[in-house]
Structure formats: structure tokens, C-alpha cells
Structure 1
Amino acid sequence: MSLRDATIDRDRRDLVTHQVMDESRLIRFVAAPDGGVAPDLARKLPGRGLWVAADRASIATAVKKNLFSRAAKAPLKPTADLPDLVESLLMKRCLEQLGLARREGALISGFEKSAAAIRSGKAAWIVEAADGSADGRGKLLALARHQIPPPRVCGVFSADDLGLALGLENAIHAVLLEGGRADRWTFEVERLAGFRPLTPPEWGDEAAEAPDGNSDGRGSAP
């Protein structure tokens, strides 16, 4: 069973809309000892889970309308920057997954190796530095359109972000290969899609033609 299969077989109720959703579409929070609200992205913290849809607007609404207190039946005081905190934690988790993927041999980096991985038909994701060259990116995305189904595309992270995560000096192009690690990455990055576009708006038509992490319509990518 893949991680994705294991995480979507339980339903929870969103505090904001009261809709029942599978866990992969929600962020778990718990009451913190200081009376605040703590994100529990790994879903391991003790205490009653307070579940909110994995997007910036929903968490902001839960904070503004005091919905955490109502659900917990206790006076909780979440900070106004809670959506920013969740986004930051999700970014960190996504980068950690990429670092693990490289150590396991499930992530290929560099233009030529990335192109070869795409041609092999085994690419699950193309991960491009947001501030990388449009020329190299365009060539890889053009190759990707010939794979069926095409790999999905993420351009959230800067070259510096990717370099630190992968232990490389120059991290611009990378490909995450199909498999269990790609499933884990997909789970994390789809939650991140509710907080920022997975392909930068300045990529223009390139991003419009490439599949991204918002195929289910939850994220904010154009």
C-alpha cells in the first residue's frame, strides 16, 4: 500500500466548512500548552485533532472566527501568522523529502541527467528552481509533454533552497522518479499548493502548458 493510499482512507471534518474530507486534504492542529494552536503536520502530537482544509484562506478564517476555540471547547489563542507558519513548515517538509529522495537515488539532478530521466518515462515530478534559466526549463518541459502521463512540475523553491536540501552548489533542474518517495513528496507538495502556486506566475505560458500539483483544484496555482 502506498503512503497516499494509507493517508486518505480516514475522513475528518473541516472546522471552517464542516465538510467531511479525507485527511490528505486537511491540516491537523492541536491545542498547545501555552493556550495557542500548534500545527501537527506529521499527525503525531498528543491531544484532540483540530482539522482545517489545507489552504491559506481556510486557516485564516479559522483564526479570525475563533473556530479553534469552538471546536476544542477551550479558550485558544492562535497567532495571526498561523497560515504563514504552516506554509513555512510545509516548505521545510517538501525540501526534506527531496533531500531524502536524492540520498535514496530517487532524485536525479542536472540538466542532462534530468532530460534522460524524462525520456525514460519514469519521471513523476520535474522540480525546477524558481529563479533558474527559462531556456533549460523550457527544454525539459517540452520533453515532458511527450511522456504519458506527463510528469508534474514544481517551481516553488529557489536554487539556494534546492542546493541546501540536496547538498549541491548548483541545483537548478531535478527529476523525482516514480515510486514510494514520489508518493510522499506528492502528499506534502499538494498540501503546499493551498498556500502558494506550485509554478511561478512569471513562468507564463510555460507553466500553463505544464501539469502542476493542483490537478484536484485545491491549490492556488494559475
Structure 2
Amino acid sequence: MGDADERGPLRRCIVTRTQGAPETMLRFVISPDGVLVPDLAARLPGRGIWLSARRDVLDTARTRHLFARAARKVVRVPDDLDMMLHVGLERRAIECLTLARRAGLAVCGFTKCREWIAARRVGRVIHTQGASTDELARLMSGARELPVTEVPSAMLTKAFGRDHAVYAVIAPGVLARRFGIEQERLKGLADEQARDAGYSRVGLEQAGK
């Protein structure tokens, strides 16, 4: 992969050969000792290797040794690469919510969330897997057009410092957009079982450390 692949607004996946916005994809670099390193912020020096944020794409790149082919040298893929990606993405998503909360751009709890929705101050609604369908419908009344994201309960409790949180909202803007992107990358990498169980429980525990 030439340096030209990292110029311009789009990046090309080494597996699918399709192009995408860099913030929606996964970038990797090769360390001096030949180890594959995830670069989720896309800031590390070196020539990047890009993947679409999908479980099947990651598996294909690994099993067909496409990282080494793209780097044109022997590359050691860490055994815990999946965990590294999950932990990193979950940490970034939690960071978005934490920053928004500290800036007064996010709240949790049904009543506060409903007040923000009614005041049209919301860019994204967030709820946990344990949310009641009927209660969520009441929360969203008159605002069904808002994007909604389902997350593991641990994500909200860590971001808001609560023992229990089911609903949260985040104001429109950069942090709401970034949170949505991180969640899409995380969801894309989760296998079916992990998605049903709330992504990676172990990953969330590690992300909070």
C-alpha cells in the first residue's frame, strides 16, 4: 500500500477494496519490531493499513495474512487483537459521554432526558439493553426522528458515575457525532453473540480501568 492511500478524504480497505471516511474505519500501523498496532485515533506515525470496521473483514485480513501483504514484510498479529480493539473503542465511546457530561452536553435519567427531548436539545438518545420498550416509546414521544443507540449498561454507569443508568441523551455536535461513529465501529466488530449480550463485557471492564 503506497503513501498515496493516506491522502485525500477517503481511505481504502485492504480486504474489500472499497473506500470510506477514515473516522469510520480502522487504521493499523506496524511497530519497529514488526507487530501490528491498532491506531484507533489515526494519529500514529508510519504508513497506515486500513480496514472497514466489520468482523468478517477483520477475520479475512487475519486468516489470509493481508496485513503482511499490505506491509510487504512479516507482521506479527497479536493474539489479543480483538480485545485490544474492543477495549480501545469502548474506552473512546465512554470518553465521548464523559466529556459531554462534564461540559453539560449530556444527562442521564428518564426525567432529565425527557426534558431535553421536549426542549429539542438532543442529538442522540442512548439506552441500555434493559430498557423497557414502552418506557422508551414514552421517552421518544414526539421525537421519533432522533437517532437512538443501544449500549451495554456498564457504559452508562461508567460515563455518568452512577450505579444504575438506563437512559442518556447527548446534545447535537461533535461529541454526539463521534459517539455515534465509535458505537458503529464497535458494533461492526462485535460478533452476533457479543451484540446480543451487549458487545464485550470483559472489554467494558477493561475500558473502565
**TM-score normalized by the length of structure 2:** 0.80
Deviating more after overlay: 185-194 vs 13-22:
185-194
Q: What secondary structure does 1:155 align onto?
A: strand
Q: CA deviation at 1:19?
A: 2.0
Aligned to 1:108: 107
Aligned to 2:203: none
Conserved? CA contact 1:27–1:52, under 8 Å: yes
Aligned to 1:25: 24
Aligned to 2:36: 37
Provide Cα deviations, 1:58-92, integer angstroms capped at 9, x if missing partner. Answer: 11111111001001011002135434432331111
Q: CA deviation at 1:121?
A: 2.1
1:192 is the counterpart of 2:189: no
- Alignment partners' CA distance in 2, 1:133 and 1:186: 22
Aligned to 1:153: 148
- Alignment partners' CA distance in 2, 1:144 and 1:83: 36
- Aligned identity (percent) is 35
Provide Cα deviations, 1:101-130, integer angstroms capped at 9, x if missing partner. Answer: 100011021111101111122211111122
Aligned to 2:159: 165
Q: 1:192 corresponds to which letter in structure 2?
A: L
Q: What secondary structure does 1:69 align onto?
A: helix
- Alignment partners' CA distance in 2, 1:88 and 1:143: 36
- Alignment partners' CA distance in 1, 2:38 and 2:65: 16
Aligned to 1:119: 118
C-alpha RMSD of the superposition: 2.2
Aligned to 2:176: 182
- Alignment partners' CA distance in 2, 1:110 and 1:143: 18
Q: CA deviation at 1:35?
A: 2.5
- Alignment partners' CA distance in 1, 2:39 and 2:11: 15
**TM-score normalized by the length of structure 1:** 0.75
Provide Cα deviations, 1:21-58, integer angstroms capped at 9, x if missing partner. Answer: 22133110011344221110011112110001111111
How many residue pairs match? The answer is 187
- Alignment partners' CA distance in 1, 2:121 and 2:196: 27
Q: CA deviation at 1:201?
A: 5.8
Aligned to 1:206: none
Q: What secondary structure does 1:169 align onto?
A: coil
Shift in CA distance, 119/53, structure 1 to aligned 2, threshold 3 Å: same
Q: What secondary structure does 1:78 align onto?
A: coil
- Alignment partners' CA distance in 2, 1:109 and 1:37: 38
Q: CA deviation at 1:157?
A: 1.8
Q: 1:29 corresponds to which letter in structure 2?
A: F
Aligned to 1:71: 70
Aligned to 2:136: 137
Q: CA deviation at 1:141?
A: 3.4
- Alignment partners' CA distance in 2, 1:13 and 1:70: 15
